[in-house]
Amino acid sequence: MANENDILISSTPDLRQSIGAWYTYLRAEKRMASNTLDAYERDLRQFCVHLTDYLGHPPALSDFADLRPLVFRGYLARRRSNGCGPRTLARDLAGIRSFVRYLEKQGQASAAGLAAMRAPRQPSSLPKPVDVKSALQLTNTREQMHETPWVAARDAALMTLMYGCGLRISETLSITGRDLGISLAGGTNIQATALRITGKGGKTRMVPLLPVVSKAVVNYLSQCPFALEPDEPVFRGVRGGVVQPGVIQRAMRLMRSALGLPATATPHAMRHSFATHLLGNGGDLRSIQELLGHASLSTTQKYTAVDSQALLKTWQSAHPRA
What is the three-class DSSP state of 300?
A: helix
Q: Which 8-state DSSP code applies to residue 194?
A: E
Is 200 tagged catalytic?
yes
Over range 168-184, report the average pLDDT. Answer: 86
- 239 as an active site residue: the answer is no
Catalytic residue among 168, 236, 272, 277: 168
Q: Percent of the chain, pLDDT > 90? A: 25
- The answer to whether 232 and 177 are in contact (CB under 8 A) is yes
Active site residue 50: no
pLDDT of residue 3: 43
Within this chain, do residues 289 and 163 fall inside the same structural domain, yes or no?
yes
How many structural domains is the chain composed of?
A: 2
Interval 195-204: pLDDT, tens:
888 888 778 8
Q: Are residues 21 and 155 in the same domain?
A: no
Q: Are residues 166 and 258 in the same domain?
A: yes
Distance of CA 107 to the CA centre of its chain: 32
Concerning whether 268 is annotated as a catalytic residue, the answer is: yes
Q: Are residues 290 and 156 in the same domain?
A: yes
Are 152 and 214 in the same domain? yes
pLDDT value at 162 more than 90:
yes
Q: What is the mean pLDDT of residues 207-231?
A: 90
Show the CA angle centred on residue 194, arms to residues 190 and 197, nearest 5°: 110
* Mean pLDDT of all residues in 98-118: 86
Residues 148 and 34 in one domain: no
pLDDT at 4: 43
